[in-house]
Amino acid sequence: MNENSLWPLNASRRRFLKLSGGGLVIAAIGLTMDSPAEASDLIKVSMKVVTGKMIGRPGWPQFEPGDLKLPAHRLVEVTVRCFDDGNAQIPGDYNRVSGTIGNVMRVIKGTPASFAPNAGRVVEEVPMKEVAHTFTVKGKNFFMNVPLPVSSTVVYRFKTPAAGKYPWQCMAACGTGAGGWAGPMMTNAWMEGMVTVT
Ligand SMILES: [Cu+2]
């Protein structure tokens, strides 16, 4: 598959967003992603966001896996199925895709088990009111923001940065408490976690 035909590069439009909402917790490393046999291969990662109801813990939506381990300087394709049909408030600009190849992602309606490579459409942003969660990674010289629309599947590609630990946080107020920033939003491998690049 030609990377550029599906993922137009748009290196000139780089957006650097400021993270708000407090510190990020550095914690344990979770799942290790499979590495392909050949170094030139695209690494594919599959994630999902399940609702609290689905896992018997209402009010606690969760990313699975909550921690990623990836090799440095490699092209990774991530598919995220968001089973959550509820939106949540996000700070301005976190509805925009940033830090992926071309600063875009592909959005497919629903959470089908399989779909054609060109299914759905390529977008640079999601309407604010349609965002259920974000996968927002911040680390030294690296920032990536992927907004997840309700009840949808997104596919994006990114180049892993240099070795290091890159915390991620969901920036949509999907948790418990008055502001929606408690509970899973403050719990490792729930709505925050670690991308460990080696
Ligand atoms: Cu969330």
Q: How confident is the model at residue 40 (pLDDT cuts 50, 70, 90)?
A: low
Neighbours of 119 (CB within 10 A): 14
Evaluate whether the domain defined by 42-197 bears CATH number 2.60.40.420.
Answer: yes
Cα of 163 vs centre of ligand 1, distance in Å, is 26
Between CA 44 and CA 36 the distance in angstroms is 9
The share of the chain scoring above pLDDT 70, in percent, equals 80
Cα of 18 vs centre of ligand 1, distance in Å, is 18
Residues 6 or more apart whose Cβ sits within 8 Å of residue 94: 17, 131, 134, 136, 145, 147, 171, 172
Per-residue pLDDT, averaged over 19-35, amounts to 39
Cα of 96 vs centre of ligand 1, distance in Å, is 15
Instruction: State pLDDT tens for residues 50-69.
Output: 999 999 999 999 999 999 99
Instruction: State pLDDT tens for residues 69-118.
Output: 999 999 999 999 999 999 999 999 999 999 999 999 999 999 999 999 99
Burial track 73-86 (b if 16+ CB lie within 10 A, e otherwise): ebebbbbbbbbbee
What are the sequence ranges of the domains in the chain? Answer: 42-197
| Preceding omega of 184 cis (within 30 degrees of 0) | no
102 CB-contact burial (10 Å; exposed 0-12 / middle 13-18 / buried 19+): buried
Q: How confident is the model at residue 49 (pLDDT cuts 50, 70, 90)?
A: very high
Q: Considering the entire predicted model, what is its pTM? A: 0.81
Per-residue pLDDT, averaged over 153-175, amounts to 98
Cα of 1 vs centre of ligand 1, distance in Å, is 31
Which residue type does 137 have? V
